[in-house]
Structures are given as C-alpha cells and as structure tokens.
Chain A
Amino acid sequence: MTHYLLAVHGPAEMGEFGNYSSKEEMDEAFAATGVFNDQLRADGYWVFAGGLEPASTATVVDGQGDTPVLTDGPYLETKEIIGGFWVIDAPDLDVALRLAAQGSEACRGKVEVRPFQGLA
C-alpha cells in the first residue's frame, strides 16, 4: 500500500462562502465531502484529511539559521493554493485516481494526486 496526498486546489482569494458562490453550494459540497469521507473510512483508505484556513493565515518559518526567521503569509504568492487535502492509503495509482475523482466531485475542486515517498 502507498500513501497518496490528494490536494484540493482552489483560488487563494476566498469569498464569503469559501470557494463557493453561494451558501447552498457550500453546504452541498460540505455534505457531499462528508459522505465521501465516511466512505473512505468504511473502505479502509482513510488516513487523514482536512480543510485549510486561507493562505493569509499562514506563517513561513525558516529554521536553517541560528534563530528561526518568521515571515507572515504563504511561501508562494499565487492565485491558486491548496485549500484542503486527504491522505489516503491505496494499493496503486488506479485506486488513488478513482478516489480522487470521487473527492473532486464531492468538494467541487480539482484534486492533485501525489504519492508519498515510502512510509515514514
């Protein structure tokens, strides 16, 4: 089994309803994502998942020097950022891609699939 990161990409600038255009749309996406998460757990693929606060809440830490240097804001200033992610445990890429498609449909965003290097 391999761990895969399923990262949801969306606009860095979020409106009142996150990445969604209305409250109804947001509620539907959240409900669908909840159903998908339950299914991941039931099927044994679930490792961890979560939505992220906006990039403006990020802090970059560089601990390579004598004292850590802190920078307010995200590492990269881009229009598209990771809004949330799943970590799944799947036997191969075909399974990971199938789950990513289901997750993408549920949360209404594009999902990037990346394998982890071995198991820590």
Chain B
Amino acid sequence: MHPGTAAVERVFRQEYGRLIASLVRRFGDIDLAEEAAGEALLAALEKWPESGVPPNPGAWLTTTAGNRAIDRIRRDSKRDAKHQAASMLPDHTTHARTGPVEDDRLRLLFTCCHPALATQARIALTLRLLGGLTVAEIAHAFLVPETTMAQRITRAKRKIAAAKVPYRVPEAVDLPDRLSGVLAVLFLIFNEGYLASGAGDPVRPELTAEAIRLARMLRELLPDEPEAAGVLALMLLTEARREARVRDGQLVPLDQQDRAGWDRALIAEGHALVRQCLAIDRPGRYQLLAAINAVYVDALAASDTDWSQVVALYDRLSRIDPSPIVALNRAIAVAELDGPEVALALVDPLPLTGYHAWHAARADLLRRLGRTAEARQAYDAAIAATENVAERTYLKRRLGELV
C-alpha cells in the first residue's frame, strides 16, 4: 500500500504531539523540536509513497527527526555554542514520578498550559504542539490574522525558553491546581468549536474533535484523576448533540432538538465515564457538568427531563464554583421546575450584562411570562452581544415570533 501525500500528512498529524514531546524532552528546545519534526515530515513525504508507511511510523519519525535535530545542533554549535546552551529548557529527567505513567506529552501539556502564559497563548501552544495544527489553522479557528497568531506562539515559546518554564508534570501538591488549568484550556478549545464566538462558521467540528482527542490523551495519561474523565465525558455528551444543534443555519435549543439525531455511541461512552466518576466519588466541576449533561441526554423527550436532578447537580456545582455563570445555568433549570417567574428573580441580579446567554435567558423567561416589550429588549441585547451566526439567526426568529 503506497500512501499519497494526504495519507502521510494524516499519519504525521496523528503522531505529532508524541513526536514533539519526545524531541523536547531529549533536546530541551521547542523550536529545534518543531524544525526537526518538519524535516522528518519532508523525509516521510519523499520516502513513504515509494516504500509504504513503515510498520511503526511513530518510531520512524522519532528516529528521523532525532537525527535531523542532532545535525542541526552540530551545525549550530559550530556557529554559536553559547546561544545554544542558553536556549535549552531544563529537563528534570530525575524528577520523581507523580503517577504510573510519565508520558512526555503530559509534561509538554503542562508546559503549554503553564499559568505564567496568557490563556490565549496556552490555547494556541497546545493546539500547535500537541494537536499538530498549523499556525494558519489555529489563526483561522480563532479568527485572527495568521501573523498575529504566529507572533503569539513565537512570544510564548520565547518566554518558555528564556524564563525556563519547566518541562515536567507538577508535584502532587501543585497537581490539582495545575490540572484545572489544563482542563480549562481543553474545554475552551472545545467550547470555541461548539459555539464559535466569532462571525465565521457557527460550529467548528475540527476544534471539538481536537479537544476530544486531547482530552482522551489526558484521560489515558492520568487515569486516576476523575476530573480528566469528567472533562472527556462532558465533551462527549455535548458533542453527541452537535449534529442536532444547528438546523438550516439556526441554533436549535435543547428542548427542540431532534433526539434521533443524537450520536448514541458518544452518549454511551460519556455515560460509562460518568458512572466511573460516580464510583470514584471525588466530584469536581467537570464531572458535575458531565453528570448534568448525562441527565439531559437520558430523557427520551425534552418533557421527560429530570429537572430536579439537574437543579440538585447545579446546587453541588455552585458550592464548588459559585460563579454567576453557574448561577445562570442553574436558574434556567429552575425555570423548568418552579416556573419562569422564580427563575427570572434569580437571573436578574446576576452581574452578566455583557454576556449574550444572560440576555437570551432573560428574553426567554420574559417571553414565557408574557412580558413582551421587555422580552423584545432582551432579545435585542442578546443579538447585539453575540457574533455567532446560528445563534443570531435563532434569536432573531424568536424576536420575530413575539406578539
């Protein structure tokens, strides 16, 4: 079987995170790792279409890229030995193992999601180095010019090298905090795919898929961390509804979705993870959000949803995360249980006037209460606060239906 260019690139992309992580571990230099990986791809594109994909393509790429990196170091060290030494990352190879698996990709993920980097930089680096997305793809996904994204990534890599952001899995005492930072980055990637914030494609399945791939990797690398399972379950149970969520370019709210269009395989996998989390019994933010979504997808019809269970789960989530956004989502569930009036009293005081979902929730509650004039204002505010095309189309339709 002789692969074409696309097939070689697919294999390369699949292996990219592992390849880069092992090169960074070995050479302590992210730029060098990327350059060597790029050269290995060129070699593969030249060789594989004739010889076929080797039995272990990952090992082939690692060996080839490793040799190219050594060639580069030899060339560079003749030119500028001092600079080369200064750009080395610290490699704590003797560092105590924090878990059963010490995978290079896990170290790289913690480096990419280091709290000393801005959130946007963490997202970009994670997608570039572990996801293997090109700078152009990441720039497109976040609707910024390619040069801006390239600068963002270059600056972050420079900071990692110059300030010596460590390349290691944090100590057990720091792990919960640092892990929540990693989970947040993965979930932000997912969310941007699931409801794009900008005016381009309303849903970006390539981003949700990449977030799920990274979450699967994290789950595999940290099997004893229930929040890693939780974030994967949350993504799967949400992704399962993706196809049913946009119809004719319009966002379809949960209660109006065609449940036959939900992906049963993803739901089953998500459910199994939620059950594993329950058995471990160390609930956290993402596990609770996953459990809430498990309740949603459990209902055969929207009217069968166990809202008291949803509200109870949001109560538990509020204790861990007393943020206004959690309070807003809890109130939306309360509306189904105790009616729109009770819910509106919970929603109104929340400090979320810049948040489209707050306006949209108010609009819906006011509509249900027959307070049409106020509902109209709230729909206008919600439309003004979002750029997502499918959401705007949906909100405009609801606005037009007001009598």
Binding site for B on A (CB under 8 A): 2, 4, 91-94, 96-97, 113-115, 117-118
Contact = CB atoms under 8 A, between A and B. Distances in A.
A55 to B, nearest CB: 27
Nearest to B160: A93
Interface stretch (B133-141, B163-171, B336-344, B361-369): B163-171
B165 A92 contact: yes
B282 interface: no
B86 A91 contact: no
B163 A93 contact: yes
A115 B164 contact: yes
A46 to B, nearest CB: 18
A96 B115 CA distance: 13
A93 B86 contact: no
Interface of B: 82, 85-86, 90, 114, 116, 162-166, 170, 174
B82 A93 contact: no
A92 B170 CA distance: 12
A78 B268 CA distance: 60
Given A117-B86, A118-B82, A92 B164 contact: yes
B89 to A, nearest CB: 9
A36 B90 CA distance: 26
A57 B270 CA distance: 65
A57 B184 CA distance: 46
B116 A97 contact: yes
B165 A118 contact: no
Contacts of A113: 163
A53 B191 CA distance: 50
Contact of B162 (A91, A97, A115): A115
Contact of A93 (B85, B166, B170, B174): B166
A35 to B, nearest CB: 22
A113 to B, nearest CB: 7
Q: Kindly list the 10 A-B residue pairs having the minimum CB-CB distance in the complex, ordered from nearest.
A: A92-B166, A92-B164, A115-B163, A118-B86, A93-B163, A93-B165, A92-B90, A2-B164, A93-B164, A115-B162
A4 B86 CA distance: 14
